[in-house]
Structure 1
Amino acid sequence: MTGWLPVAPCTPAGCARHTGAVRAPLPAALLLLSGCALVLLGVVCVPLVRLLGAGPRRRLTRRWARAVPQAFGVRVRVRPHAPDRTPGGGELVVANHISWLDIPLVASVLPGRTVAKREIRCWPLLGPLAARGGTLFIDRDRLRALPAAVREIATALRSGSRVVVFPEGSTWCGRGGGAFRPAVFQAAIDAGATVRPVRITYLTDPHGSGLTAGAVAFVGADPLAASLWRVVRAAGLTAHVDVLTPIPADGEDGRRALARRARAAVLGPGDLLQARQTAVASDRANRPAESVHH
């Protein structure tokens, strides 16, 4: 373990469970095929999409990204609490991290360049798509690479790009969460960018009154194939995406204060105590860590 690799207490056996209705194997297999086909279509079409203007490219990316979770059988509910555009400058989008589904969900409302761990480049389907989409890949095995990564993100923000990062540094099951690693917030401060918090919640009820959907949790040493199968087997999954009020990077007392403020916005006041209790063991083990990987 290094500072790039915070450890979450979540495990597939302990957290990734679905207690609601399940789909029969055949409908689930059809959803799996349709979802993978849509992702593959995105990989193939990236060179063509790049030929479009910025506006049409954003709109097409958002529609495709929203269709991906739906193709895997997950309903999507977007609740934009603020406009999805910040006038001028770059924008650092920060969200809690539960599942691989988080990536298309954020892209469906705020498409941008995602910060991801280097290993994702080798994933089937998703890896080539991420590389062609301008993903900023981070080498998590080299702590010395952290300053260069911060500079690279700051450069992208200065150019006016939107950069998406999951600053918990690892996936969590959704019951609480980890601290937001402050390194990436230094990039926002250096670039004078705006920080946009996004809250992602998975429930078993489309109206938001059901139980937390553990089936989507992609945690620990969970194989991607096993996670995909759990998602398509679980019926009634709904993803809620809350686009929250932006936070200016200037006027803060530094990157740690900015990270705490963004985390408080993403978790919400009702979840902060539970998240603090859940993350105690992880924070002790990773006290010096500052991760910016996906």
Structure 2
Amino acid sequence: MSVWLPGAPCTPTACVETTGPAAALPRAVLRLAAVAALLLAGVVLAPLGGRVPAGWIRRWCRAIVRACGVRVRIAGAAAPTGGLLLVANHISWLDVPLLTAVRPARMLAKAEIRRWPVAGPLAARGGALFLERDRLRALPGTVALIAGALRDGTAVAAFPEGSTWCGRAEGRFHRAVFQAALDAGVAVQPVRIRYRVAGGAASTAPAFVGDDSLLASLWRVASARGLTAEVDVRPAIAPGTHPDRRTLARAAHPVRTGEPRWAHAALGGVSPIMPG
């Protein structure tokens, strides 16, 4: 099996639950309509590529999450400029706009996403790096492609767990993508993403795991009430501080450090609490 294609034990039946009172049906429909409108705007603007200001991209990504009815809290260190590997744990499709809200980046995505309606063309136009996860022979070329983008001063975002987990359980970071950061000599910035309901309890409602369908996951998020996404940006790991990809992957796993301090935190001028 390819190092890009690890398994996760999480399934919709065993792990995913809707916590808290559901939103009224009209509100859920309006939320989905707002998401569709924002995605359409993204498709229209995608051909502009690098000419779209980074601030606009961050605001658009936050708007996607807020349109779903999810409050957003971002706290921690500011992302440095230049080539950067952003790595995060992976729970939901919401992780993608949340990570891009930290810093616009070329997303490392599985090749299957290219075939998704709307999201596939949008990801391709946005510069996503697609990988064939079941082809071990493609590994050196994929690492070289990522390293080349990093050397060019681009940020690349990846989910090194290789699969989504429900959030209550998490996987280890696989090492392959970290070799690209070592080859390019760039920093690695860990990010931890969590979802909670009112009162602070962990929520698996946003999880997109196992054989869950994207439509079912969209509806579950849009119809939930009181969801909050917490994005904790850890300090960047400077290049040259770890001798190999194994130790770098271990150091970059964001679960290894403590809880964030939300009360007075801010990220590059972004308010730590953004109501949906």
Taking structure 1 as the reference length, the TM-score comes to: 0.85
Change in Cα spacing, 1:51 to 1:216, as seen in structure 2 (3 Å) is closer
Return the match for 1:143 from 136, 140, 147: 136
**Which residue in 2 is equivalent to 1:275?**
none
Matched residue type, 1:77: R
> Are the aligned partners of 2:71 and 2:229 in contact in 1 as well (CA < 8 Å)?
yes
Q: Is 1:255 aligned with 2:245?
A: yes
Runs of 4+ in 1 over 3 A off after TM superposition: 268-271
**Which residue in 1 is equivalent to 2:72?**
76
Return the match for 1:130 from 123, 126, 136: 123
Q: Is 1:174 aligned with 2:167?
A: yes
- Partners of 1:130 and 1:229 in 2: CA distance: 21
Matched residue type, 2:40: L
> Are the aligned partners of 2:85 and 2:150 in contact in 1 as well (CA < 8 Å)?
yes
**Which residue in 1 is equivalent to 2:273?**
none
**Which residue in 1 is equivalent to 2:269?**
none
Q: CA RMSD in A?
A: 1.5
**Which residue in 2 is equivalent to 1:267?**
255
> Are the aligned partners of 1:50 and 1:57 in contact in 2 as well (CA < 8 Å)?
no
**Which residue in 1 is equivalent to 2:225?**
235
- Partners of 2:258 and 2:11 in 1: CA distance: 24
Matched residue type, 1:65: C
Q: Is 1:121 aligned with 2:120?
A: no
Q: Is 1:64 aligned with 2:52?
A: no
Residue 51 of structure 1 deviates from its aligned partner by: 6.6
- Partners of 1:10 and 1:167 in 2: CA distance: 16
Residue deviations 1:34-66, cap 9 Å, x none? 11221121111212x4373xxx52111111011
Percent of matched pairs sharing the same residue: 55
Residue deviations 1:137-191, cap 9 Å, x none? 0011211111110000000011111000000000000113111010110110010
- Partners of 2:33 and 2:160 in 1: CA distance: 31
**Which residue in 1 is equivalent to 2:80?**
85
Matched residue type, 2:94: L
Return the match for 1:112 from 105, 116, 132: 105
- Partners of 2:182 and 2:243 in 1: CA distance: 10
> Are the aligned partners of 1:194 and 1:249 in contact in 2 as well (CA < 8 Å)?
yes
Matched residue type, 1:267: V
Question: 2:53 aligns to what SS in structure 1?
Answer: helix
Question: 1:40 aligns to what SS in structure 2?
Answer: helix
Residue 103 of structure 1 deviates from its aligned partner by: 0.3
> Are the aligned partners of 2:68 and 2:221 in contact in 1 as well (CA < 8 Å)?
yes
Change in Cα spacing, 1:199 to 1:69, as seen in structure 2 (3 Å) is same
- Partners of 1:83 and 1:180 in 2: CA distance: 22
Change in Cα spacing, 1:268 to 1:204, as seen in structure 2 (3 Å) is farther
Residue 85 of structure 1 deviates from its aligned partner by: 2.1
Return the match for 1:212 from 202, 208, 214: 202
**Which residue in 2 is equivalent to 1:34?**
34
Greater CA drift, 176-185 or 1-10: 1-10
Matched residue type, 1:91: L
- Partners of 2:12 and 2:121 in 1: CA distance: 26
Q: Which has the higher helix share?
A: 1
- Partners of 2:256 and 2:3 in 1: CA distance: 26
Matched residue type, 2:223: R
Return the match for 2:156 from 157, 163, 181: 163
Give the total of aligned pairs: 259
- Partners of 1:142 and 1:28 in 2: CA distance: 40
